[in-house]
Amino acid sequence: MADLAPRDLLIEIGTEELPPKALSALAEAFEQGIRAGLEKAGLASGAIQGFATPRRLAVLIEQLPTRQPDRPLERRGPALSAAFGPDGNPTKAAEGFARSCGVTVADLQRRETDKGAWLVHLSVEPGAATVDLIPSIVETALAGLPIPKRMRWGDRDDEFVRPVQWVVLLFGDEVIPATILGVAAGRETHGHRFHRPQPIRLTAPADYARQLTSEGQVIADFAARRAAIRAQAEAVATELRGAAVIKPELLDEVTALVEWPVALAGNFERRFLNVPAEALISTMQDNQRYFPVVDTQGWLLPHFITIANLESRDPAQVRAGNERVIRPRFSDAEFFWNQDRKQPLAARMEGLKQMVFQQRLGTLADKSGRVAALARFIAGHGHGNADGADRAARLAKCDLLTQMVQEFPELQGVMGRYYALHDQEASEVAQALEEQYLPRFAGDRLPQTATGRALALAERLDTLIGIFAIGQGPSGTKDPFALRRAALGVLRILIESELDLDLFDLLERAAAGFEPAVRADHVVETVFEFVMDRLRGYYLEQGVRPDTFEAVLDCRPTRPLDFDRRARAVGAFRELPEAASLAAANKRIRNLLKKVETVLPFEVRPDLLVEEAEQALAGRLVELSSEAIPLMEAGLYPEALGRLARLREPVDAFFDQVLVMAEDPMLRDNRLALLNELSSLFLRVADFSRLQD
């Protein structure tokens, strides 16, 4: 019975260096693929842990059964009415079914259900041995990895992201015999390529990580290696009397590049600190994968931290090598910085006439003119300085013609701010040149200046209208002009910066800036709906219920800030004890009004209110309308809905005591007019009939 005891299983695929930016995704997908395969096979295990280094993907499964559980089978045969004749003897159908099952008719069971009675054969299918199942589970998991382009090596037909060098399939103390991607499985792994290149014989799956660390000088656990790199970098930065700038995505990439991290400090000449810090940091992070070091005020220090993949016997040589590599790049940045400032940013406006934004939409100079007009309008409506917004829009793309931005495209906007300040442009104009690109991604910061907000809005609205007008809007997962991100940026700026502007009006003004041949005015409605659809996703991420969004959308508010205030108010209203009853009443009213074929009177006639309950509702409606409508017009929707919550009792009484569809047509129409008035009051905020329980 000892052989049936659960065992640990180690799966390791050893490769040439895997692509660092893809390592985390590959490791996660491999682990999930193994999990899914085990679950499909009915093999319930203990904890499952994934490992990933530049040269391996591995999964450790604890306490895996040695066999699948046996599976009871039930095979249904002929109905009892067809299985036995009038004399009670088995028919040919029953005998044939028994033979196909390898038993006699007497061995069959009878199963009665509400749909009839049948002969059935009950049996047990023995579970397969785990060692027979694992190879195909591994192959399926490997085939499902997110690898855009697979490669072949040698004369093999096997394909993978990188050539496979070794495979481990260790089940307890037993090697599972298999060939994976052309390599026979064994129990030998390999340590660090330089420190411990010799094979390492694994003693047990549970000892995998420990053995690799102690015998192979490899930290196999990605998270542990990541934590070690962060701790080492922070410790080195402290020795330099600074703090390491550690971007999470760069930390992940560095973790995917090394198996045995060793942090080393490097230095550069102080004169380079005269170059904008963003250019130096970009070079360190994006080109060299170094961690910059800053002081307590956030100012860049003349140091960097690099993570070596080995313990060098001569760290000074490693340090010097990294310093030699970075010096030319810093020298280039210094040269570009000095050269670019020899002419003002504004002098490059003429060059924008030679840069095509989009063939049918003109040059960047054309776009700058359109954006300037729209930014001036936005700023002039209480949201900034119109002249400043105009100036910022005309300078916005000029830094694209500088040598610095051509070398470091990620610095567009940032360098525009530096050059504008050097040219003594207004500080808010300079700041807007950087803020035009905010937010760059979900959760990114928003423009902080009024001019920056005006420019960022105008830039995105012009792009949305123009690209949709030429039929290049997003399709499926394709969005080459990042219009979904642009739409979300517009919404975030309007809502989170509390700019009470009419989106539809802004889109119309953006469309008016294009040449008539573009026919931009034809896509205003389409773009408006596209942006509002992004608002749906914006609210879903914040936990706003979909029916709350739909209830507000049905009223078509065109000012996103107003939409947001309504949605928040409806969400708060739903928490009130009166909400469910009033939402149900609104549904009932809408259903009644849909059936009306006549034109309702515009006003309720008091002389036709004959029932006490309808008189009470009408009086309360007049009273609360006078309080709620001014609040709604002021955008104070929570306060307004708080007033309308007081309608619950008279509304409930009305429906309990009054026959709406009275035989007298005048009474019926007057009651419908009263309900229409009630519904219209709620519709000033949202369609409450859309709310679900």
**What average pLDDT does this structure show over 423-445?**
95
| pLDDT category of residue 2 using cuts at 50, 70 and 90 | very low
Angstrom distances, CA of residue 169 to CA of 41, 68, 193, 221, 237: 18, 18, 21, 18, 42
Task: Please write the tens of the pLDDT for every residue from 108-139.
Answer: 888 888 888 888 888 887 888 999 999 999 99
pLDDT at site 182: 92
Whole-number percent of the chain with pLDDT over 90: 76
Instruction: Tell whether the model's pLDDT for residue 321 goes beyond 90.
Output: yes
Residue 383: pLDDT above 80? Answer: no
Q: Which residue has the higher pLDDT, 72 or 613?
A: 613
The candidate with the shortest Cα–Cα distance to 560, out of 540, 536, 526, is: 536
CB 326 within 8 A of CB 268: yes
| pLDDT-derived band at 590, boundaries 50, 70, 90 | confident
Q: How remote is the C-alpha of 491 from its chain's centroid?
A: 17
The overall average pLDDT reported for the chain is 93
Q: Is the predicted pLDDT of residue 487 greater than 70, yes or no?
A: yes
Which residues of the chain does CATH 3.30.70 include?
2-67+129-216
Fold of 2-67+129-216: Alpha-Beta Plaits (3.30.70)
Nearest to 403 by CA among 356, 327, 343, 326: 343
Three-state SS for 554? coil
pLDDT of residue 602: 74
pLDDT > 70 fraction of the chain, expressed in percent and rounded: 99
pLDDT (tens digit per residue) in 389-422: 999 999 999 999 999 999 999 999 999 999 999 9
36's enclosing H/E stretch is helix 23-40
Give 308 or 86, the one with higher predicted confidence: 308
Give DSSP secondary structure letters for 494-552: HHHTT----HHHHHHHHHHTS-GGG-GGGGHHHHHHHHHHHHHHHHHHTT--HHHHHHH
pLDDT at 88: 84
pLDDT-derived band at 442, boundaries 50, 70, 90 = confident
Predicted local confidence at residue 16, as pLDDT: 95
The pLDDT of residue 105? 85
Q: What is the mean pLDDT of residues 349-364?
A: 94
- Maximum distance among all Cα pairs of the chain, rounded to whole angstroms: 112
- In tens, the pLDDT along 158-170 reads 889 999 999 999 9
CATH 1.10.730.10 domain range(s) in the chain: 578-690
**In the chain, ranges of CATH 1.10.3210 domains:** 356-543
CB-CB contact of 133 with 68 (8 Å): yes
Residue 382 banded pLDDT, cuts 50, 70, 90? low
Q: Which CATH architecture has domain 578-690?
A: Orthogonal Bundle (1.10)
Of 295, 289, 282, 298, the residue nearest 330 (C-alpha):
282
C-alpha 354/C-alpha 505 separation (Å) is: 31
Instruction: Report the relative pairing of strands 183-186 and 164-171 from DSSP bridges.
Output: parallel
Q: What does the angle CA 87 – CA 90 – CA 91 come to, to the nearest 5 degrees?
A: 100
Task: Please say if the pLDDT value at position 329 is more than 80.
Answer: yes
| Average pLDDT rounded to a whole number, residues 525-542 | 95
pLDDT band at 593 (very low <50, low <70, confident <90, very high): confident
Total-model pTM: 0.82
Does domain 356-543 fall into CATH 1.10.3470? no
Left if phi > 0, otherwise alpha if psi is -120 to 50, otherwise beta: which for 439?
beta
pLDDT reading at 581 higher than 70: yes
| Distance (Å, whole) CA 279 – CA 334 | 9
Q: How far apart are CA 248 and CA 263, in angstroms?
A: 17
